[in-house]
Structure 1
Amino acid sequence: MTFPLRGAPLLRDPRFNKGTAFTEEERESLGLLGLLPDGVDTLETQVRRAFTQLAEKNSNLGKYIYLSSLQDTNETLFYRVLRQAPAELLPLVYTPTVGEACERYGLIMRRTKGLYVGINHKGRVKEILRNWPVSDVRFIVVTNGNRILGLGDLGANGMAIPIGKLALYTACGGVPPEFTLPVLIDLGTDNSKLLNDPLYLGLRRPRPSAAELDEFVEEFVEAVQEVFPRCCIQFEDWAGVDAMRLLEKYRDRVCCFNDDIQGTAAVALAGLMGATRITGKPLSQQRVLFLGAGSAGLGIAGLLTQAMVLEGLSLKDAQSQIALFDIHGLIESTRTDLHEFQKPYAHELPSIKDFADAIEMFKPTAIVGVSTVARAFDRRVIEAMARVNERPIIFPYSNPTSRSECTAEEAYQWSQGRAVFASGSPFPPVRYGDKTFVPGQGNNVYIFPAIGMAVYATQATRVTDEMFIAAARGVAEQVMQSDLDVGLIYPPQSELLRTELLAATRVAEVIYARGLTRMPRPDDLEALIRAHAYIPEYHSLG
């Protein structure tokens, strides 16, 4: 069979382009003579060249732009480069660099990726989806740009988020890239700076009401079911109240999940599971105080209570061991400004407006920051945690780095080296006394690619919280004693693909146990997962 692409169009197709690695025979048969230098590279040589070119970029944003351009021109090479050095490159492809990329998206975009579904085209969403050149899409990551990381409303500039997320589906989870589709639902923006920016790429209109938003999202979800019937939808970076409402509306109706709620919850749960191996207290004995009571905090609290129930606690007892603190102070039973989803954690506690005072009163074993308030875990907070715990668990999870509640160095220094630390953004190793600590990064990349691979390999029909608990356990069980000895409570990022595939196997066990797939169960689930994993290598096109 003759390959359908030839000559210059083949070199412009990132899925099949090999660049200088096309063989002499392929150059003859595919009309490429003269379009490439005469030297023939191996994929390994191209990888070395890519790393050399990357090293010459003098900023992280410059490196992000280079990698994005590589993805545009040679998909196989892009993913081989990411697979070779995930710990080094993930902060460039995703957090924290993706935050700067979103803020400057109108300046750095070179070539469009994915689909822009604007509310100005209401009634035509199916038509837009059918414009995508691939008919079998299995994963859509969709944002409306309303709550990008800790940066707020970035409108259409938020498209960098689903692009980056789906790159990690493939690089870290093994999901073949041809089955993925980034989507930006453009509802306008309330960011006046963007509305007045002549280079802004999105709709120049204020955001709609919740009712109008829900109506358009309904059209989108229904269109996906018709155009891509085997597709799983991941909601990403929606404003907190919208995120909670949409998840509850669709989670039992279609195959979908919200990574900010469920993925963040699972990675935090995996971190707490790892931390218990250092503190010696089981999950059921943890008392957790959250700074931040939005969708991320409530998502963690909800999954944590479910995991505690699985360890033998009643739901009420599990909820009593979790407290929330927001901009107005401690969430407690006399407050009248609470959402329904916050009320299960509104205990009969004093009204406290200071977070350090809340620590002294509630005596948590762990504090979790999901507030996006930089340096909110100040010296008073860390020292209070160190007073009430021999090994205080400190998790500043807000992204990007500029919004982290504290740094790793602050946590270790102010706790006299006793903190069990993990953060949302990466921090370098910290030397305290005669010991070097390696901070863990509670990055959702440990979770959502594993969920994605399990859903893809099993053709799952739903995504449940039990699957996220299974993913968390699958990640936590891969932390070695040598990791714990240096304070690391997540598996090393250098082993991400192995970690994800094993976690995906745990998720697949739940999928089959609950009958959430139409596919027959194979004898070996781990082999099933590995057989479906994408391998970035060239194939003969001659």
Structure 2
Amino acid sequence: MMSLNRNRPHFLRLLVNLKVKGEREKKVIRGIMSTGNALDEMTQGSNGVGGGVKDVYGEDSATEAQHITPWTVSVASGYTLLRDPHHNKGLAFTEKERDAHYLRGLLPPACLSQELQAKKFLATLRQYEAPLQKYIAMMDLQERNEKLFYKLLIDHVEELLPLVYTPTVGEACQKYGSIFRRPQGLFISLKDKGKILEILKNWPEKNIQVLVVTDGERILGLGDLGCQGMGIPVGKLSLYTALGGVRPSACLPITLDVGTNNEKLLNDEFYIGLKQNRATGKEYAEFVQEFMSAVKQNYGEKILVQFEDFANHNAFELLEKYRKTHLVFNDDIQGTASVVLAGLIASLKPLGGNLADHTFLFLGAGEAGTGIAELIAREMSNKTNAPVEEMRKKIWLVDSKGLVVSSRKESLQSFKLPWAHEAKPVTTLLEAVQVIKPTVLIGTSGKGKTFTKEVVEAMSSINSKPLILALSNPTSQSECTAEEAYTWSKGQAIFASGSPFDPVEYEGHTFVPGQANNAYIFPGFGLGLIMCGAIRVHDDMLLAASEALAAQVTKEHLAKGLIYPPYKDIRNISANIAAKVAEKAYELGLASRLPQPENLVKYAESCMYSPNYRNYR
């Protein structure tokens, strides 16, 4: 019946010929007709962010626009409604709704509010000891009651973020094959070559606005996890909704399974991916090309594609290749860079001076390290009007072979060449600190315990307030802990990390470590791109996002040692980031949704998805 409703003239003629006898049948038809009329209204005009969805119900279409009863599931069977995570409210269905949607008897008699449901679930969750158990419980909730999941995540973001994202998501990816329940996204493998467009059409939601895609080759600091890397796109898109307000039905996680070089997985009888070595070269390039072409063909010019956890040798090449033809964003290169730059800008208040007055030393010269370095150089160039090439000379990188210097140029990968400066070769980080005398030390190595006591003490002897950023994830791969940074520096260091650490007591002072987490940037950044209809990502948009995040850091935050604002304000932070990103897109002529709203912050807030239950008629 509902498929006929797509062709309304034929559908209406069929209804005329039906002999409607019972009240139940009449109610079904009234519901279908009502829904059809509402859908007709919604698909006229283009006032909403979703493109072509009218703001009929007082919400922008970046949110869940349908206040109407989901007749397609409710009239067919109340049992089916209870198993639809988009519309299920569990025990929150009212007495009236239980009668209207044939739920009487399918639920216990108690009616619980969403707030009470959240309280109950949280109490149960806190009884689990293992983070992975909590992760599985949260994923199970997402699969049966989507709105309650996001309600909990939004209201308790500081407690639950580490469970659905770093560091717990790393363990979840390692064990993803064991905990896999039902599809949360699309798995597209080499076996599907030539059929990728058909596979995209298999996904039930059609109005997709953002894809997060991985090939699983470099999952956090854990290496090649093959198709088990799906946990990363799923987690990232949960944050797009909870922190950035992008409606969940507009988000699609995708894993490109091109094989794995992880022998443990290849020999695991329960591994859920392709059991073959990774495709490379022409085979890999053609596969990704078909995927990117199919995405654009199926979803249009304004679909945001976020690359996630690709290995260095592919990450830079893919970003450079597709940034000119698609709306693409690499969170490891650009998102990490933007959030770190925000922390650096905020830290200038206690450190003093401008960015160009500081010297930066990186441990790690991969996609994260070089991405951050380039964005810092561009920000310094914009502020000083000096050439970016000149600003790069203030930034030094250490890789696995030592300091990146000009005498090594012949053996360096192309993305390291801009950072090969004139200096004597040194092989250790400690030597590099002693030679370069940096004011800022940044770790993107993916290797734990590399900021040793000697390194931190050397930084403290050079600077009265050394800025130390240990960014590698998960927690086990952090270059040093917060306690080590504060203790070894005798309380001098300003510290932030990629994974969360608890506050540290040192000589009567409480130090609160900041978390340089990409979750500060990418949800608001993505919302900004979506709400203005951006067609390309420009580096100036990343700078705008960094400055918007830094502006949210107050004197009170800095007094506690924080260079990032608390997560409890994340939706307000994301709205401000989205507004600045959209403003820059309009300024650069890259926004397609016209005219530009007068107040972009309020517009961003109006676009945000709300997880509150709605009343069904």
- The two structures have a TM-score, normalised by structure 2, of 0.87
The aligned counterpart of 1:523 is 598
Matches within 5 A, 1:211-226: 211-226=282-297
The aligned counterpart of 2:194 is 123
TM-aligned CA deviation for residue 209 of structure 1: 1.4
SS of corresponding position for 1:188 = coil
The aligned counterpart of 1:280 is 352
The aligned counterpart of 1:261 is 333
Counterparts of 2:303 and 2:508, CA distance in 1:
52
Amino acid at match of 1:4: T
Alignment partner of 1:177 out of 243, 248, 251: 248
Deviation string for 1:352-399 (max 9, x for gaps)?
A: 001111111111111110101110000111011111111101001000
Matches within 5 A, 1:455-466: 455-466=529-540
The aligned counterpart of 1:199 is 270
1:138 aligns with 2:209: yes
Identity %: 47
The aligned counterpart of 2:551 is 477
SS of corresponding position for 1:371 = coil
The aligned counterpart of 1:109 is 180
The aligned counterpart of 1:245 is 317
TM-aligned CA deviation for residue 533 of structure 1: 0.5
The aligned counterpart of 1:414 is 488
Counterparts of 1:101 and 1:19, CA distance in 2:
27
Matches within 5 A, 1:440-455: 440-455=514-529
Deviation string for 1:63-101 (max 9, x for gaps)?
A: 000000000000000000001110111000000000000
The aligned counterpart of 1:294 is 366
Q: Do 1:233 and 1:257's aligned partners in 2 also have CA atoms closer than 8 Å? A: yes
SS of corresponding position for 1:311 = helix
Q: Do 1:5 and 1:30's aligned partners in 2 also have CA atoms closer than 8 Å? A: no
Say how many residue pairs are matched. Answer: 542
The aligned counterpart of 2:307 is 235
Alignment partner of 1:94 out of 158, 165, 177: 165
SS of corresponding position for 1:117 = strand
The aligned counterpart of 1:23 is 94
The aligned counterpart of 1:319 is 392
SS of corresponding position for 2:542 = helix
Alignment partner of 2:560 out of 466, 486, 489: 486
Deviation string for 1:251-309 (max 9, x for gaps)?
A: 12111110000000001101111111111121121211110111111100111111000
Q: Do 1:21 and 1:42's aligned partners in 2 also have CA atoms closer than 8 Å? A: yes
SS of corresponding position for 2:406 = coil
Amino acid at match of 1:466: D
Counterparts of 1:101 and 1:173, CA distance in 2:
23
Deviation string for 1:387-428 (max 9, x for gaps)?
A: 111110100100000000000111111111010100000000
Counterparts of 2:470 and 2:614, CA distance in 1:
44
The aligned counterpart of 1:10 is 81
Q: Do 1:115 and 1:183's aligned partners in 2 also have CA atoms closer than 8 Å? A: yes
The aligned counterpart of 2:43 is none
The aligned counterpart of 1:154 is 225
SS of corresponding position for 2:426 = coil
1:70 aligns with 2:141: yes
Matches within 5 A, 1:503-518: 503-518=577-592
Segment of structure 1 superposing worse, 440-449 or 104-113: 104-113
TM-aligned CA deviation for residue 31 of structure 1: 1.3
SS of corresponding position for 1:300 = helix
SS of corresponding position for 1:33 = coil
Amino acid at match of 2:453: R
Counterparts of 1:95 and 1:464, CA distance in 2:
27
Amino acid at match of 1:317: E
Amino acid at match of 2:279: P
The aligned counterpart of 2:10 is none
Q: Do 1:8 and 1:35's aligned partners in 2 also have CA atoms closer than 8 Å? A: yes
SS of corresponding position for 2:243 = helix
Q: Do 1:116 and 1:186's aligned partners in 2 also have CA atoms closer than 8 Å? A: yes
Amino acid at match of 2:443: G
Counterparts of 1:264 and 1:488, CA distance in 2:
18
TM-aligned CA deviation for residue 541 of structure 1: 2.2
Counterparts of 2:237 and 2:569, CA distance in 1:
19
Amino acid at match of 1:536: P
TM-aligned CA deviation for residue 316 of structure 1: 2.4
Alignment partner of 1:376 out of 434, 437, 450: 450
Q: Do 1:290 and 1:297's aligned partners in 2 also have CA atoms closer than 8 Å? A: yes
SS of corresponding position for 2:407 = coil
Counterparts of 1:333 and 1:211, CA distance in 2:
32
TM-aligned CA deviation for residue 540 of structure 1: 2.1
Counterparts of 1:245 and 1:395, CA distance in 2:
27
Amino acid at match of 1:309: S
The aligned counterpart of 1:391 is 465
The aligned counterpart of 1:189 is 260
1:535 aligns with 2:606: no
The aligned counterpart of 2:55 is none
The aligned counterpart of 1:303 is 375
The aligned counterpart of 1:403 is 477
SS of corresponding position for 2:469 = strand
Counterparts of 2:530 and 2:88, CA distance in 1:
25
Q: Do 2:582 and 2:591's aligned partners in 1 also have CA atoms closer than 8 Å? A: no
Segment of structure 1 superposing worse, 458-467 or 217-226: 458-467
Counterparts of 1:39 and 1:381, CA distance in 2:
60
1:167 aligns with 2:232: no
Counterparts of 2:332 and 2:573, CA distance in 1:
20
Counterparts of 1:189 and 1:378, CA distance in 2:
33
Matches within 5 A, 1:309-348: 309-312=381-384, 313-335=386-408, 336-348=410-422
SS of corresponding position for 1:425 = coil
Counterparts of 1:94 and 1:496, CA distance in 2:
15
Q: Which runs of 4+ in 1 moved over 2 A?
A: none
TM-aligned CA deviation for residue 211 of structure 1: 2.2
Alignment RMSD: 0.9
Q: Do 1:270 and 1:473's aligned partners in 2 also have CA atoms closer than 8 Å? A: yes
SS of corresponding position for 2:218 = coil
Amino acid at match of 2:402: G
Deviation string for 1:512-542 (max 9, x for gaps)?
A: 1111122111111112111101111111222
Amino acid at match of 1:134: E
The aligned counterpart of 2:56 is none
Deviation string for 1:224-250 (max 9, x for gaps)?
A: 001111311000000011000000001
SS of corresponding position for 2:535 = coil
SS of corresponding position for 2:398 = strand
